[in-house]
Amino acid sequence: MPIWQVILLGLIEGLTEFLPVSSTGHLLLTEHFLGICNPGKTFEVLIQLGAILAILSVYFVKLTRVAMAVPYDPAARRFVLSVLLAFLPAAVIGVAAHGFIKGVLFETPMLIAIMLILGGIVLLYVDRMHLPVRYTNAMDFPPSMAFKIGLLQCLAMIPGVSRSGATIVGAMLLGTDKRSAAEFSFFLAMPTMAGAFAYDLYKNWSVLQASDVTNIAVGFITAFIAAVFVVRYLLDYVSRHGFAVFGWWRIIVGGMALGAMLVLGQGPGCPA
């Protein structure tokens, strides 16, 4: 893969990972229309490590304080438990359905485009709803509610749905404000994406080549830089403006991709 394509994919990953627009959907559609074939779709999963480290860099002080408070602070223990419970459903389903997700869903661009459009419609609808707000701090979500958010996160196993989109919409429907919904999505991303990274590396380590490692490293660095920017400014943006712009973006991108495939065909796809 040429270096410009690696950098482009890294930018797309970093800029879209924490937005409710589906980073995986954007990556896979970009690869489809550029004719990029990454066997096993390992590159797309492994460069997510850059986005994980972006969260850690921005929230390092806050997360360190939570970790140090766990032995004596019930609120810190509840927060950690909530994140782990929210992560659990995706861990179980991700391992059980790994082959189907990577081998079938990741290879179906038409499905991805449709899910982008449907997800955009849902996001616009929920963003306009006047929902009752019970929680305004992502660190105060009760474990039972966090588990329900984790169940909804599993919808993002279908590329185009969006992990952050599913968790944000789920949290808002369960009584959170927009800012805390987005922030909890950040925190939940860390174990979810780290788990996906570790499992995919374990499953595909034997097929990685030297050029793959170089591409992954460049994509990781690019994704990290782009994701830091998004993490720093997203919460303030959604607090003021909501998620409507992301819903319209999904509909436009999904519609253009779907139209192109209906007119031009889906193409031969990547070799197995």
Per-residue pLDDT of the chain (272 residues; tens, 9 = 90+): 788 998 999 999 888 988 899 988 999 999 889 888 766 567 777 788 888 888 888 888 989 999 999 999 999 999 999 999 999 999 999 888 888 887 788 888 999 999 999 999 999 999 999 899 999 999 999 999 999 999 999 999 999 999 999 999 999 999 999 999 999 998 998 898 888 878 877 777 766 676 677 888 888 899 999 999 888 888 888 888 889 999 999 999 999 999 999 988 766 556 54
Q: Which single residue is written with the structure tokens 């959170």? A: 176
Paired tokens of 151: 């169940």
Closest among 242, 171, 202 to 45, alpha carbons compared: 202
Contact 117, 258 (CB under 8 A): yes
The helix, strand and coil proportions of the chain, stated in percent and rounded to the nearest 5, come to 80, 0, 20
User: C-alpha distances in angstroms, 183 versus 19, 55, 238?
Assistant: 11, 10, 10
What are the φ/ψ torsions at residue 176 (nearest 5 degrees)? -105, 160
Write the CB contacts of 57 (distance below 8 Å, at least 6 apart in sequence): 228
Task: Enter the pTM of the model.
Answer: 0.88
Paired tokens of 238: 């959604």
CA distance between the termini of the chain: 17
Instruction: Indicate left, alpha or beta for 186 from its phi (over 0: left) and psi (-120 to 50: alpha).
Output: alpha
Contact 150, 192 (CB under 8 A): no
How far apart CA 61 and CA 40 sit, in angstroms, is 36
How far apart CA 217 and CA 211 sit, in angstroms, is 10
Q: Which single residue is written with the structure tokens 């499992």? A: 199
Instruction: Name 176's bridge partners.
Output: 135
